[in-house]
Structure 1
């Protein structure tokens, strides 16, 4: 049987200190308690950017500005094949409210790989560390 392909987007939100917002998935859902970049499924007739803005309002009550695309990765899970596109983002307005996640952390880019991430997010983490993680030493 062919697995369902799920198109999702994730926001790599950076604050003024250069820290990245990391969010922990709830228990009882796929990838329970794994860390991820907030975001979600792209609905029919929705652009990735529109989906990401909608999901951040739904999950965290945040209005975001979407910046550069980081990467698109595909990972096969037992529940389907996830195609994840991540974007650097900034908070335009709002304060983080955990409407979907159980926990969040702001971490320096150099430290984000210390969490137990959902596998689809890991390629983006490597790119983020390369782009942002060395900024202080330079």
Structure 2
């Protein structure tokens, strides 16, 4: 049976643009774009995990919407990923690359110009057709 991993992703909005982060080489899903975030650790809520991951990965603080934007389950060859995304607003800090190789701020209608990780694609599609 495939391992199931629960992860969270942040749809960070600032000035009507969304933060997109590119995964680095040598990691799973190398060079794909994603909403930053990561694994939910034992005893953490999804919101707590998101706040921790964004502090660790990008050195930023955000406010997290009270409810999830989208939830996707995707079967990769290495695990079944259960991704929950939340809309967030940047509160303090400037995104600093610690694990990603690039970031871009794009309007929702332009998100499809990037090569997104498969688990992120349903949220991208939803963002492109809904206003936040």
TM bucket by the smaller chain?
Answer: over 0.9
Deviations along 1:91-118, one digit per CA (max 9) or x if unpaired, are 1111110111000000010000110000
- TM-score, normalising length: structure 2: 0.97
Alpha-carbon RMSD across the aligned residues, in angstroms, is 1.0
- TM-score, normalising length: structure 1: 0.92
Aligned to 2:57: 59
| Secondary structure of 2:129's aligned partner | helix
Aligned to 1:34: 32
CA distance in structure 1 between the aligned counterparts of 2:55 and 2:121, rounded to whole angstroms: 24
Question: Aligned residues, how many?
Answer: 131
Match of 2:20 among 15, 22, 34: 22
CA distance in structure 2 between the aligned counterparts of 1:88 and 1:107, rounded to whole angstroms: 15
Which ranges of structure 1 fall in alignment gaps of 5 or more residues?
Answer: none
CA distance in structure 1 between the aligned counterparts of 2:97 and 2:130, rounded to whole angstroms: 27
